[in-house]
A and B are shown apart, each in its own frame.
Chain A
Amino acid sequence: MDFNFQDPFTSIGELLRGLLLGWGLAPGLVSLILMLLGALVLAGFAMTLAGVFLTWLDRKLAARIQDRLGPNRVGPFGIFQPIADAIKLITKEDIIPEGAERAIFKLAPMLAVMSAVGIWAVVPFAPRLIGTDLNVGVLYIVAVGAIGTLSIMMGGMASNNKYAMLGAFRTVAQMVAYEIPMVIALLVPTMLAGTMGVGGIVEAQRGGWFIVLAPVATLLFFVSAMAEAGRAPFDLLEAESEIVAGYNVEYSGMKFGMFYVAEFLHGVTIAALTATLFLGGWLGPGAQQFPLLGLVYFAIKTAFVYLVISLIRFSMPRIRIDHLLAFNWKLLTPLALAAVIVTAIADKLAPALGWNRAVVHLTANILLAWATFEALRAYARGIRQRVEVQPAAVETGGAD
């Protein structure tokens, strides 16, 4: 069998399949072994890439933003710092606090990692390089993502610690709330592509990335996914300056390490999803012929989105819980609903008008954004008037 450099992943798969069949194994067993091997490679790849390289990049970037040097001792430019950290975490004492729900306490970090890695099963890294192209991929993403929420709640409630408990309180309020605009925003690419399969959504972006067709939905998804993952400025569940470390305050050793990795992977997952669903995934010049090139495009897009997340994280103070919820229920959720309606109408209108589809969608989105800003401006004006009528009164909190 000659090796096909244009499609290496399929070739490798065929090569292995031939080899295993040659050993005389049953075809069903061979398929199972190959699937397990694929999962291992995927998870290992995710762990290594995110756990080592991106952590290092993240810390270097943070250091540069903050006028520091960052890790620079372990290996060239400190690139092996995450490995040293992992060794440290593994060798640390593993403590389970008195009065903790032991089973739940142990299960929580595993679930956290599971949910973050699990999403990667439906992410197309390159043409034909996808764990499984589920036809309800988007639904799967939402469902598996919710397990992460569950794990944080479990960790917080099982720790027998009040800070952890407060973190769990916040989880319930914040994550459950932000799932709604995220799910609704996910409807937009689904509608545009006409499929819930993630592979199909990428394919559907050949005519134009969905960030062009649906900028409002992109932003909505990005923001609410960031809140879902608890990234700053929405990191209330582990607000260091308020509730110490929130849900993971009692975790030590590798259990803490798993939470750390899970949180990190969650960040990468958001970046990957944003890249896949709105930035065209692996699409790019020549990607169809050379799938490896698609992988590179995908990695670049993911890294770009991830760095934007990091930039926001290192330059913003934290939002307060009531502002956070007000922001969600009063702005994001209605806007997401409006975005879905606008997309639906524009999609039907485009062929009827005979214009280019992208132009119609973009115009609709710009109109929507303009209307939102006008509504916000009117709202702010109302507050200002209220304050000016009673100069002594000071506006307290609320969604301003």
Chain B
Amino acid sequence: MSEQEQSTVAEPLEVHFPQAVTPDERKGYQGYVVATEALPEVATYARDELGYDYLSSVTGVDYLPEGKTEVVYHAYRTAGGPALVLKVQVPREDPVVPSLVGIYPSADFQEREAWDLLGIRFSGHPNLKRILMWEGFHGHPLRKDYQEVYFEAENKPFKNRWPEGKVYRVEEKAPLKKNVQYPPDFTAEGWVPEGDAALYAGMGQVVAAEGGNGRALNTDQIVVNLGPQHPSTHGVFRLVVTLEGETIVDLEPVMGYLHRNHEKIGERNTFLMNMPYTDRLDYICAMGNNFGYSLAVEKLMGITPPERAEYIRVMMAELTRIVNHLWAIGFLLNDLGAYFTPALYAIEERELVLDVFEAVSGSRMMCNYFRFGGVARDLPEGVLDVVRELVHERLPRKVDELDTYLTHNEIIRARCVGVGVLPPEDAIAYGMAGPVLRASGVPYDVRRADPYSIYDRLDFDVAVRYNGDVYDRYIIRLDEIRQSLRILEQVLRDIPEGEVQTGKPQYQVRVPAGEAYGRVENPKGELGFYVVSNGKPNPWRYHVRAPSFINLTAMGEMCKGQKVADVVAILGSIDIVLGEVDR
């Protein structure tokens, strides 16, 4: 569907749905408020007629003073362009919103997350259960009236935390030593964990027990938990797989083992305090996370960084991309069973890039380098020469080396070609982002589709591959490193002198009330920050659209019918970081 067709055929939302859709007229807000029952209809129209085929973010905001809960949808066109923001407002006592999973499958995990953390029920969701908190958790922590047990509760269960000068943690006095709130009739002895049973129930076990699988050879299926402790899940992450011999019948990712309610903590922090906290999301790409968050807040504040800061930002973001892709390729090979050799070679150059990060920010990984309206400090002397040497000499050689040794390796081809195929239409529907989306033949890159910072004047190609298998996801990472090197060459050539920060550096920024969605093309995909401010020093809502998390939506689909060994390869090719998945 071309742009012209769209503009002639489809009329804007508020014209087509005069009753159901009204523009959001609050100050500092954008988009449309949609009547609850009309949402599926509006979403279908937006997808099919207006071309907003890519639902990027679904989240909720609890407006306690107004007594409303709002669900916010950010949809984009894969052809490029700005967002279509849809909002649904429901009373916060009993928030029920129609689920969009049938229209946009990418809403699956995000709606579960909104249910888990905000208590919004999505009617029609096929599998609405907790995703980050555990089954049996009491309450929805992101609701503004949720009080953290012991720490925020009005009636403190224990009067004094420091009786006679002795310090103890309140958890130590709790009956089960955990920071949990139990339902009134709860007894620890009689408790049966329902989570796993519920999880296994729908996974084909029953069929096998009742009389075979309909094939000539009557075999049993077994359920295997890959994880939470498993060498190839890259952290504490669990894949519940039903196996028929070596073949995957069903697979469901289970996450939340590293959950620390990043967003809740983010809402308590002031705006600037969140900057170092974003480092901890995708800890391989701290600079990229900083970038996304500062974009969102800068949108709210209405400031832009000076020229030199923009160049420095892009330089850091692209170096981060290279680091991440080297890491991803190395550990994909590890998952394929190459005993650490390729991984160690791939991350050899990473250390040199991290030296650059340390020189500019003081820290290898937790950089905390960006500030609203610039970067924390100017580049120290000599850093540009180091980067120049890296970009012109070492990194291109490293990419060529990896290319030479890995790309045509017979075993790698046999293991990767045709494994975990994700067709382009599925990739879009599942909201896949970054290299995974582009390896499926969708040339969608936020740097091009919705340019931010100075990307609109840089010359680079959006890497794209067409088979959508593990092999293409590996190759595309090499392509992207090469494109990043191209960008870095231009940045190094053109970087101007000057200020690196608008105005005076501040510890406490004033952020006007309103909402903003800032997104960047992080190495793992589209990283978005949805920030709502009410004029106070800390954000009212701080939501992270984590690419690793949403890319897992299609995991089950990609793995079905493959072998056990392929699961780890597919997971490695998605390239997740648990700090970001679990938040």
B231 at the interface (CB under 8 A from A): yes
Task: Please pick, from A232, A319, A321, A396, the residue contacting B339 in the complex, using a CB distance under 8 A.
Answer: A232
Contact digits for B275-310, partner A, Cβ 8 Å, 1 yes 0 no: 000000000000000000000000000000000000
- What range describes how many residues of A lie at the interface? 35 or more
A315 at the interface (CB under 8 A from B): yes
Supposing A241-B232, A241-B334, A314-B339 touch, asked if A319 and B414 sit within 8 A by C-beta, the answer is yes
Contact digits for B345-361, partner A, Cβ 8 Å, 1 yes 0 no: 10010000000000000
B12 at the interface (CB under 8 A from A): no
Task: Please pick, from A67, A236, A241, the residue contacting B335 in the complex, using a CB distance under 8 A.
Answer: A241
B334 and A394 form a contact (CB under 8 A): no
Further pairs besides A316-B411, A397-B419: 11, Cβ < 8 Å: A169-B245, A232-B339, A233-B411, A235-B337, A241-B231, A242-B568, A243-B564, A317-B411, A318-B411, A394-B417, A396-B418
B146 at the interface (CB under 8 A from A): no
Contact digits for A108-139, partner B, Cβ 8 Å, 1 yes 0 no: 00000000000000000000000000000000
Q: List residues of chain A with CB within 8 A of the CB of B335.
A: 241
Quick one: which of B225, B231, B246, B337 has the most chain A CB within 10 A? Answer: B337
A165 at the interface (CB under 8 A from B): yes
A41 at the interface (CB under 8 A from B): no
Supposing A394-B418, A396-B418 touch, asked if A66 and B344 sit within 8 A by C-beta, the answer is yes
A239 at the interface (CB under 8 A from B): yes
B399 at the interface (CB under 8 A from A): no
Q: Which of A72-94 contact B (CB under 8 A)?
A: none
20 interchain pairs (CB within 8 A)? A165-B222, A166-B243, A170-B246, A241-B232, A241-B334, A241-B337, A242-B337, A243-B564, A316-B338, A316-B411, A317-B409, A317-B411, A320-B414, A320-B566, A321-B563, A321-B565, A323-B414, A323-B415, A394-B417, A395-B418
Q: Which of A152-205 contact B (CB under 8 A)?
A: 162-163, 165-166, 169-170
Q: List residues of chain B with CB within 8 A of the CB of A320.
A: 414-415, 563, 565-566
A317 and B336 form a contact (CB under 8 A): yes
Contact digits for B215-250, partner A, Cβ 8 Å, 1 yes 0 no: 000000010110000111000000000010110000
Q: List residues of chain B with CB within 8 A of the CB of A321.
A: 246, 563, 565
- What range describes how many residues of B lie at the interface? 35 or more
C-alpha spacing A242/B569, complex, angstroms: 9
A242 and B564 form a contact (CB under 8 A): yes
B106 at the interface (CB under 8 A from A): no
Q: List residues of chain B with CB within 8 A of the CB of A65.
A: 341
Q: Which of A345-400 contact B (CB under 8 A)?
A: 394-397, 400
A400 and B564 form a contact (CB under 8 A): no
A166 and B563 form a contact (CB under 8 A): no
**B415 nearest CB neighbor, chain A only:** A320
Q: List residues of chain A with CB within 8 A of the CB of B419.
A: 396-397
Q: Which of B295-338 contact A (CB under 8 A)?
A: 333-338
Q: List residues of chain B with CB within 8 A of the CB of A322.
A: 246, 563
Q: List residues of chain B with CB within 8 A of the CB of A317.
A: 333, 336-338, 409, 411-412, 415
**A315 nearest CB neighbor, chain B only:** B341
B511 at the interface (CB under 8 A from A): no
A313 at the interface (CB under 8 A from B): yes
A166 to chain B, nearest CB (A): 7
A377 to chain B, nearest CB (A): 14
Q: List residues of chain A with CB within 8 A of the CB of B338.
A: 315-318
A240 at the interface (CB under 8 A from B): yes
C-alpha spacing A254/B6, complex, angstroms: 71
A310 to chain B, nearest CB (A): 10
B340 at the interface (CB under 8 A from A): yes
Q: List residues of chain A with CB within 8 A of the CB of B246.
A: 166, 169-170, 321-322
Supposing A66-B344, A232-B337 touch, asked if A239 and B565 sit within 8 A by C-beta, the answer is yes
B82 to chain A, nearest CB (A): 34
Q: List residues of chain A with CB within 8 A of the CB of B421.
A: 394, 396
Q: Which of B91-142 contact A (CB under 8 A)?
A: none
C-alpha spacing A320/B222, complex, angstroms: 20
B469 at the interface (CB under 8 A from A): yes
B232 and A242 form a contact (CB under 8 A): yes
**A393 nearest CB neighbor, chain B only:** B418
B569 to chain A, nearest CB (A): 9
Quick one: which of A165, A240, A320 has the most chain B CB within 10 A? Answer: A320
A233 and B337 form a contact (CB under 8 A): yes
A395 and B341 form a contact (CB under 8 A): no
B501 at the interface (CB under 8 A from A): no
A244 and B339 form a contact (CB under 8 A): no
B233 to chain A, nearest CB (A): 10
B548 at the interface (CB under 8 A from A): no
B394 to chain A, nearest CB (A): 15
Task: Please pick, from A67, A162, A314, A318, the residue contacting B565 in the complex, using a CB distance under 8 A.
Answer: A318
A227 to chain B, nearest CB (A): 14
B573 at the interface (CB under 8 A from A): no
B228 to chain A, nearest CB (A): 12
Q: Across chains A and B, which 4 residue pairs bring their CB atoms closest together, nearest first?
A: A318-B337, A317-B336, A317-B338, A396-B418
